[in-house]
Amino acid sequence: MKYALVTGGSRGIGRAVCIQLAKIGYHILINYRSNEAEAQHTATLIRSAGVGAELIQFDVANRKEVQEKLGGWIEANPGKTIEVLVNNAGIRDDGLLMWMKDEQWDNVLNTSLGGFFNVTRVVVNQMLLKKYGRIINIVSLSGLKGLPGQTNYSAAKAGVIGATKALAQEIGRKGITVNAIAPGFIKTDMTEGLNEAELKALIPLRRFGTPEEVAFTVGFLAAPEAGYITGEVISINGGLYS
């Protein structure tokens, strides 16, 4: 049975990604950190489309927990293969560098960049054995351009972009592609408090994007036919930055 693991699949972009990957035939392993009700809702949406969905709770930033829970799931399910990994879990905790607290820096870096390492390392072995895999990392415009007030978030996402390009070269010969998607402003809980009216005036397409628009590109990169694209970063930002 072929599975796609989506970290942070309980809400926002992650939920839309789960639904999109279910549409292209994958059973979905939905990771979440704390919001079980929302994760259950994602699972219900997937199951109602006739596709299998399982929940797996762990904090991507917690190396031991990832190893135990995700490593444990892989060991306990030898008939199930994770073919697609979407490293989507992420947080932001903005502030100017001069006032940034240790925890703000550490939590944001440990979730996006640390999470990429902790989860990918556990999943990639199975892909290497099967000589097939798709790893898709959700990064950000901040990681390409840098945004003031987000040195932590920009550094974390830029770090994942570097890791994407390096890993693509390490494991390409094993039939595994590694790509990143860099969204601009997407309507989710993460952008809830932002001044949308003011910001959308800066965007050539004059609107925020939707989680489904990001998920569509994840589905594209996850498809077998996208097998010659690797080490790329695809921007989805309404023309805000290119």
Question: Is 153 noted as a catalytic residue in this protein?
Answer: yes
Q: Helices (H), strands (E): how many in the chain? A: 9, 7
**Least distance from C-beta 123 to ligand NAP, angstroms?**
14
Q: Does 111 bind ligand NAP (CB under 6 A)?
A: yes
d(CA 215, CA 175): 22
Catalytic-role residue among 3, 132, 153, 241: 153
Q: Kindly determine how many residues on this chain lie close enough to bind ligand NAP according to the rule CB under 6 A.
A: 31
CA distances for 160 relative to 114, 138, 155, 228, 230, angstroms = 9, 9, 9, 21, 14
Burial of 75 (0-12, 13-18, 19+ CB in 10 A): exposed
Q: Does 151 bind ligand NAP (CB under 6 A)?
A: no
Q: Does 89 bind ligand NAP (CB under 6 A)?
A: yes
Structure tokens at 206: 């004059």
**Least distance from C-beta 228 to ligand NAP, angstroms?**
25
Radius of gyration of the chain (CA): 17
Neighbours of 8 (CB within 10 A): 27
Which residue among 60, 86, 163, 167 contacts ligand NAP (CB under 6 A)? 60
Provide the mask over 12-51, with x wherever binding to ligand NAP is found by CB under 6 A and - wherever it is not. xxx----------------xxxxx--x-------------
Q: Are 151 and 142 in contact (CB under 8 A)?
A: no
Q: Does 117 bind ligand NAP (CB under 6 A)?
A: no
Q: Which amino acid belongs to residue 111?
A: T
Structure tokens at 129: 């054995």
Q: Does 61 bind ligand NAP (CB under 6 A)?
A: yes
Q: Does 159 bind ligand NAP (CB under 6 A)?
A: no
Catalytic residues: 153
| Residues forming the site for ligand NAP (CB under 6 A) | 7-8, 10-14, 31-35, 38, 59-61, 88-91, 111-112, 138, 140, 183, 185-186, 188-191
